[in-house]
């Protein structure tokens, strides 16, 4: 299968997972299955937009108390000729007609006197045109920003921290969001260790961290990572027992003596969506669906090829399950010498300026330094644009 078709299959085949009511404070990163609307006015009550004095009628005004944010406005209705000292955001007393900022007044004993246009202001600024309480009231009325029913965020929107904060401000405590996809990571190979310094013939697990990051970026969550020996019975048991939406298997993806995944999936009556991709590296990658609906993503055991496969199949699959709308991949102008793959694509690291970076057979160091990969078709020429993939 062509690389573009494989990416499209992973992106377009899966349907969003079921929606569920979720507390707003726990919904960040999830996708809204229904619009969020304002449930209470914003602001929820009349309040002061400045620090100063809430006043009623003409001045000077007799000060009769103080109102701080978060406190009730005690003392009843504000009568003409009276004032209360008030903090920004504090509940406005009934009867208040304006807030006179500190810098627009002076206080003598218990009287508040508005600074005239001919007087220097208490904050040291020179006299000049003063707006006065009649021209600028410095009051935020209930519902000035939002009224109940106003759209906060549409269905399909990812809940960012700001969306969550806006929903809470508007009175929403729960939202209807798609369930976050879960992923199980099965790292196969007798040679793989998960901690410590590798001995002769051993390598460290480099897949769990990459898959965790790519899964999270796509809106999912890695539930568990297990290391398995090159044993078909162990792999078969792990596949059967994995309770996540997606199972990622690193290694065991080719046709060698220790590669058992394809046979096990055939025996499990899995449906193959992708079984090999015309790309270098990452040719043996695959995507299948088990009869119960769980997806299996097969990553080549080579770390760089596995990274390519995870960006090609895992990330768009998890994003689709999370309900994220498909978006076109970015492109960039790419320059430099490269050996292209006839009939397929070569996927290589590129720097911020689009310059090609040399990547060896393992290649993770080059990808880490470069920060992005370019997907180069066999008709690409130096200076042409190309699709790019951002490494986690």
Segment 292-315, tens digit of pLDDT? 999 999 999 999 999 999 999 999
User: Are residues 125 and 105 in contact, defined by beta-carbon separation less than 8 angstroms?
Assistant: no
Burial of 153 (C-beta count, 10 Å sphere; 0-12/13-18/19+) = buried
pLDDT digits (tens, 9 = 90+) for 75-85: 789 999 999 99
Instruction: Find how far residue 7's CA is from the centre of its chain.
Output: 21
pLDDT digits (tens, 9 = 90+) for 19-69: 999 999 999 999 999 999 999 999 999 999 999 999 999 989 999 999 999
Q: With 90 as the cut, is the pLDDT of residue 332 above it? A: yes
- Secondary structure (3-state) at 116: coil
> To the nearest 10°, the Cα dihedral for 268, 273, 276, 280?
-140
What is the Rg, in whole angstroms, of the alpha carbon atoms belonging to the chain?
Answer: 31
pLDDT digits (tens, 9 = 90+) for 115-131: 864 455 555 555 444 44
> Across the chain, how many H-helices and E-strands are there?
9, 25
Q: For strand 331-333 and strand 385-390, is the pairing parallel, antiparallel, or unpaired? A: antiparallel
Q: Is 219 left (phi over 0), alpha (psi -120 to 50) or beta?
A: left
Higher pLDDT, 364 or 255: 364
Residue 276 has a pLDDT of: 96
Residue 121 has a pLDDT of: 53
Helices (H), 148-283: 161-169, 207-217, 232-241, 261-267
- Secondary structure (3-state) at 14: coil
Residue 355's CB is within 10 A of a number of other CB atoms, namely 13
Domains contained in the chain, CATH given: 3-16+180-321 (3.40.980.10), 19-42+145-178 (3.90.105.10), 47-140 (2.170.190.11), 331-390 (no CATH)
What the block records as the tokens of 166 is 């806006």
Strand partners of residue 249:
186, 298
Q: How far apart are CA 113 and CA 122, in angstroms?
A: 11
Residue 129 has a pLDDT of: 43
Q: How far apart are CA 392 and CA 381, in angstroms?
A: 27
Q: Which residues of 29-55 are buried (b: 16+ CB within 10 A; e: fewer)?
A: bbbbbeebbbbbbbbeebbbbbbbbbb
Instruction: Find how far residue 153's CA is from the centre of its chain.
Output: 15
Query: If residue 48 lies in a helix (H) or strand (E), which one and from where to where?
Result: strand 47-48
Q: Which residue has the tokens 């002769």?
A: 200
Residue 73 has a pLDDT of: 75
Q: How far apart are CA 243 and CA 2, in angstroms?
A: 31
Q: How far apart are CA 45 and CA 251, in angstroms?
A: 60
- Secondary structure (3-state) at 157: coil
> Percentage of the chain with pLDDT > 70?
92
> Percentage of the chain with pLDDT > 90?
78
Q: With 50 as the cut, is the pLDDT of residue 17 above it? A: yes
| Closest among 384, 267, 271 to 334, alpha carbons compared | 384
pLDDT digits (tens, 9 = 90+) for 131-190: 444 457 899 999 999 999 999 999 999 999 999 999 999 999 999 999 999 999 999 998
| Closest among 65, 87, 68 to 76, alpha carbons compared | 65
| Closest among 271, 272, 266 to 291, alpha carbons compared | 271
Residue 389 has a pLDDT of: 97
Q: What is the phi/psi pair of residue 43, to 5°?
A: -65, 160
pTM of the model: 0.83
- Secondary structure (3-state) at 387: strand
Stretch 211-225: mean pLDDT: 97
User: Are residues 185 and 224 in contact, defined by beta-carbon separation less than 8 angstroms?
Assistant: yes
User: Are residues 389 and 328 in contact, defined by beta-carbon separation less than 8 angstroms?
Assistant: no
């Amino acid at each position: 299968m062509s690389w573009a078709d494989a990416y499209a299959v992973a992106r377009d085949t899966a349907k969003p997972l079921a929606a569920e009511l979720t507390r707003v404070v726990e919904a960040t990163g999830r996708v809204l299955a229904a619009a969020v609307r304002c449930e209470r006015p914003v602001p929820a009550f009349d309040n002061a937009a400045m620090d100063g004095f809430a006043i009623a009628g003409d001045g000077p005004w007799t000060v009769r108390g103080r109102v701080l944010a978060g406190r009730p406005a005690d003392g009843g209705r504000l009568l003409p000729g009276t004032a209360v000292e008030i903090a920004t955001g504090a509940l406005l007393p009934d009867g208040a007609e304006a807030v006179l900022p500190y810098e627009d007044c002076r206080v003598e004993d218990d009287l508040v006197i508005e600074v005239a246009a001919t007087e220097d202001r208490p904050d040291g600024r020179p006299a000049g045109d003063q707006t006065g309480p009649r021209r600028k009231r410095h009051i935020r009325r209930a519902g000035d920003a939002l009224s109940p029913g106003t759209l906060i965020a549409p269905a399909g929107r990812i809940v960012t921290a700001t969306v969550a904060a806006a929903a809470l401000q508007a009175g929403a405590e729960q939202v209807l969001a798609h369930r976050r996809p879960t992923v199980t990571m099965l790292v196969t190979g007798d040679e793989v260790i998960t901690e410590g310094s590798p001995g002769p013939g051993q390598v460290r697990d480099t897949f769990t961290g990459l898959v965790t990051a790519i899964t999270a970026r796509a809106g999912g969550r890695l539930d568990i990572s297990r290391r398995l020996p090159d044993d078909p019975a162990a792999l078969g048991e792990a596949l059967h027992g994995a309770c996540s939406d997606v199972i990622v298997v690193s290694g065991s993806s080719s046709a060698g003596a220790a590669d058992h995944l394809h046979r096990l999936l055939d025996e499990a009556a899995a449906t193959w969506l992708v079984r090999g991709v015309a790309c270098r590296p990452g040719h043996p990658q695959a995507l299948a669906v088990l009869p119960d609906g769980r997806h299996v993503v097969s990553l080549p055991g080579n770390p760089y090829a596995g990274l390519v496969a995870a960006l090609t199949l895992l990330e768009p699959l998890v994003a689709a399950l999370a309900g994220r709308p498909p978006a076109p991949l970015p492109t960039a102008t790419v320059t430099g010498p490269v050996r292209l793959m006839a009939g397929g694509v070569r996927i290589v690291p590129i720097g911020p300026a689009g310059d090609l970076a040399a990547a060896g057979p393992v290649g993770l160091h080059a990808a880490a330094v470069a920060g992005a990969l370019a997907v180069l078709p066999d008709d690409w020429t130096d200076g042409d644009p190309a699709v790019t993939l951002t490494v986690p």
